[in-house]
Structure 1
Amino acid sequence: MINIFEVNETNKMIEQENLDVRTITLGISLLDCIDSDLNQLNAKIYEKITTTAKDLVKVGNEIEKEFGIPVVNKRISVTPIALIGAAACKTPDDFVTIAKTLDKAAVEVGVNLLGGYSALVSKGTTKADELLIRSIPKALATTQRVCSSVNLGSTKTGINMDAVRLMGEIIIETAQLTKDIDSVSCMKLVVFCNAPDDNPFMAGAFHGVTESDAIINVGVSGPGVVKTALSKVRGENFEVLCETIKKTAFKVTRVGQLVAQEASKRLNIPFGIVDLSLAPTPAIGDSVADILCEIGLEYAGAPGTTAALALLNDQVKKGGVMASSYVGGLSGAFIPVSEDQGMIDAVQAGALTLEKLEAMTCVCSVGLDMIAIPGNTKATTISGIIADEMAIGMINQKTTAVRIIPVVGKDVGETVEFGGLFGYAPIMPVNQYSCDAFVNRKGRIPAPIHSFKN
């Protein structure tokens, strides 16, 4: 049983060390909204979301006030829209109408973001998948709260390289449509390998088809808490280091478990999972990079960074799984550049490069996240970066992702300001050598030999 006394133990963490519940995400199935008439489809979607989520924000605020736990975001994820719109949508613009409906519903219920404008194309692409993907630039440019994701590969199926090539072009087009505001729509677009069905974090959240009609998923945070705990055991051996991370992750996850159970009870919606990821913010002291420095690195990116991050990720999971019976989503350490002041400092010092970030994604929670690159980067180069990251996920049987922002009109040495939780980012250099011939091959990269486990 979880009680308020356990939460009281974390008061100092909340008040002084940036502990928060990053999000309560309500997953909603839209399968029962499917209709061949586009107008009827949009009406059903709006009705389902606004009915199911009508009390989400109110309940989140009540929990925050009652327990003194900051609940930073209240969000919604829905069934991948490529599936929901397949019968009614004949053009990309048809899908855009659904994006606008989702945005309208998100505003109505007051959530920060809504995820699930998504397609799952790891093995092949249907006509509806392609229409949705081609609609993404306009959909994100004409909405405020809708987030989009595309799953391009998996350990079981391989990598859909046709879709990888297309997504390079889509990211460039998305950047162009919002070039007057630093290509910000790209912040709401992520591509995956091995995307989980129960991820509460944006931009990649969607409500998987294996989930129930509605579900409550919670994402916790707390890099500042871990950093403070480690500062008290500075110089100790690895056993003490690991035990400290595990114990801290346990306490952080218990807070998330409490919030998830309370939200589930008050909304009368089943509890799904706690995602125990360390998700940084631009706030000073709320940085995964600072944890790596506390472990013993001068900057994130120094030799030893990948090993330190692997240690951190593993101990966070070991501590977290003891605190909750239902751990899921991504769970680990996020390493977004723009949202982590320590990562920004490492880039500006020259310690952290795109290539080192790629190496770190072998052992972190997700992948290349919130990285700003020159706006004149070629679509094929972006596709090559995506392919590399998909391969890491496929071979290592883990989730990997790319959320990259080619900022039109800006180049290496400049910075881009996104604001709020998204922070700011230095424009990072990209390898200029061509991968055109590789990316332009058609077909898919086969699944690895260890995928055959039936």
Structure 2
Amino acid sequence: MINMLEVNETNKMIEQDNLDVRTITIGISLFDCIDSNLEKLKSNIYNKITTVAKDLVSVGKEIETMYNIPIVNKRISITPISMIGSAACKTPEDYVELAKTLDEAAAKVNVNFLGGYSAIVSKGMTKQDEIFIRSIPQALKVTNNVCSSVNVGSTKTGINMDAVRLMGDIIKETALVTKDEGSIGCAKLVVLCNAPDDNPFMAGAFHGVSEADAIINVGVSGPGVVKKALEQVRGENFEVLCETIKKTAFKITRVGQLVAKEASKRLNIPFGIIDLSLAPTPAIGDSVADILCEIGLEYAGAPGTTAALALLNDQVKKGGVMASSYVGGLSGAFIPVSEDQGMINSVEQGALTIEKLEAMTCVCSVGLDMIAIPGDTKETTISGIIADEMAIGMINQKTTAVRIIPVIGKGVGDKVEFGGLLGYAPIMPVNQYSCDAFVNRGGRIPAPIHSFKN
């Protein structure tokens, strides 16, 4: 049970420290929508989504009012559409029609984002998978709320380098077709290794094949709360520091548990997981980078940053798993550049580079996230960056991701504005040396030796 002391603490965290429930996400299986007729498939998908998720937004608002807890986003994740559309879609244009249907369904139920315009090709691509992937740029151009992801590797299967090479092209093409909006299409596209089936956060959310017909997953965020707690133990030793983070993470997760259970009951949909991820926003005081500075760094990126982030991530997870029996998704600390004012400050000061961010991704929740790079960056260079990040995930048995934005028409020193939760980003330099011969080899990087555990 949650007592009045916890309620008062929670209210203080909400009012003063930017605590929020970042998202309630309904995962919806579309396997029963499959049909070989495209029009029938579109109708089935629209009807399923708008039926299952019809009360999501209203219930979210009721819970906000009931507990005085902000719920920033209400979202939907679906079965990867490459699986659902393969019988009916013969061309990329056919898949774009499905994307439009998804966007219409999302608009009908008034959710912020819908994730699952996705493919899982970690070991190989079918012809249909490739057709689907080639539809992504146009799909993201003609939709507002659809998010796309492609899983190209895993610890168990290795890295599909053909898919990695293709995704370099796809990201660049997406940037080009949305160049009039700051290449924002790339902000809705992520490349993953070891993608979880139950992630409630965009752009990587999809409803895994091992999930029930529908499920409620909740993502909680509270960088400001953690920073505030650490201010009270400034100068203390690491034991005190770690205990403070762990206890704070416990309290934050309890808020998510409360909201998830209530949403599950009101929507009559099973509760899945709580994803306790310290997901920042552009708001001042809601920054993971600021937590790192409170731990003792002048700027994120300074020597010691990776150690500080590892400490933070581990204590967040230890606190979270004590507060809920079903902690999942990603859970830890996100380090998106454009969505974190502290990260932006570090980049502008020259303290943080892509290479340092890559090192940090070895110990954080996800990977290279919301990083803007020059618009003339070569496709093969983008593929090389993806390959590096996928290798980190594969070897370390963790989820890693790349959400990188080559902003057409902009170079190092410029900025790009995305607005809302996506914030703004300085254009970061990339290594100019070629990796063409490497990414053009084709084939698959084998799984590491420690993957053989059967």
Same fold (TM over 0.5): yes
Contact 1:334 1:364 in 2 (8 A): yes
Q: Deviations over 1:164-185 (max 9, x none)?
A: 0000000000000011111001
- Count of aligned pairs between the two proteins: 454
**What SS is found at the alignment partner of 2:332?**
coil
Shift of 1:8: 3.0
Matches within 5 A, 1:276-291: 276-291=276-291
Aligned to 2:390: 390
Structure 1 CA distance for aligned equivalents of residues 80 and 222 of structure 2: 30
- Where do residues 232-251 of structure 1 align in structure 2 (5 Å cutoff)? 232-251=232-251
Q: Does 1:69 align with 2:69?
A: yes
- Residue type of the alignment partner of 1:170: I
Alpha-carbon distance between aligned partners in 2 of 1:339 and 1:392, rounded to the nearest angstrom: 23
**2:347 aligned partner:** 347
Report what 2:336 is aligned to.
336
In the alignment, what sits opposite 2:34?
34
* Superimposed CA distance per residue, residues 252-299 of structure 1 (whole angstroms, 9 cap, x where no aligned partner): 000000000000000000000000000000000000000000000000
Secondary structure of the residue that 1:272 maps to in structure 2? Answer: strand
- Structure 1 residues 368 and 185 mapped into 2: Cα distance closer, same or farther (>3 Å)? same
Q: CA deviation at 1:4?
A: 6.4
Q: CA deviation at 1:131?
A: 1.0
Measured in 2, the distance between the counterparts of 1:261 and 1:157 equals 36
* Aligned twin of 2:149: 149
1:439 maps to amino acid:
V
Residues in 2 aligned to 1:117 and 1:334: alpha-carbon distance in whole angstroms: 22
- What SS does the corresponding residue of 1:286 show, helix, strand or coil? coil
- Other-structure match for 1:190: 190
Name the CA shift for 1:246/1:426 in 2 (closer, same or farther; >3 Å): same
CA–CA separation in structure 2 for the residues paired with 1:10 and 1:301: 31
Q: How big is each residue's C-alpha offset from its partner over 1:29-78, in whole Å with a ceiling of 9 and x where there is no partner?
A: 00000000000000000000000000000000000011000000000000
What is the RMSD of the two structures over their aligned residues, measured on CA atoms? 0.7
* Aligned amino acid, residue 29 of structure 1: S
Given the two structures, how large is their TM-score scaled by the length of structure 2?
0.99
User: Within 5 A, what are the aligned runs for 1:319-330?
Assistant: 319-330=319-330
Contact 1:353 / 1:428 at 8 angstroms: preserved in 2? yes
| 2:428 equivalent in structure 1 | 428
- What SS is found at the alignment partner of 1:10? helix
Per the alignment, residue 216 of structure 1 pairs with 216
Give secondary structure in 2 for the equivalent of 1:77.
Answer: strand
Instruction: Write the letter of the residue equivalent to 1:73.
Output: N
Q: Specify every segment of 5 or more residues in structure 1 that has no aligned partner in the other structure, as ranges.
A: none
Percentage identity across paired residues of the two chains: 83
Give the C-alpha shift of residue 132 in structure 1: 1.0
SS across alignment from 1:337? coil
Give the 5 Å matches for 1:400-439. Answer: 400-439=400-439
Match of 2:225 in 1: 225
**1:4–1:67: 8 Å Cα contact kept in structure 2?**
no
Which deviations, in whole Å up to 9, do the C-alpha atoms of 1:325-348 show, x marking residues without a partner?
Answer: 000000000000000000000000
In structure 2, the residue matched to 1:47 is 47
Contact 1:330–1:366 (Cα < 8 Å) also in 2:
yes
Q: 1:27 Cα shift? A: 0.2
Q: State TM-score, norm by structure 1.
A: 0.99
Q: Note if contact 1:215-1:269 (Cα within 8 Å) is conserved in structure 2.
A: yes
CA deviation string 1:178-229 (max 9, x = no partner): 1111100100000000000000000000000000000000000000000000
In structure 2, the residue matched to 1:311 is 311
Q: Which amino acid aligns with 1:398?
A: K
User: Aligned AA for 2:245?
Assistant: I
Q: Following the alignment from structure 1 to structure 2, what is the Cα–Cα distance between the partners of residues 217 and 336?
A: 21
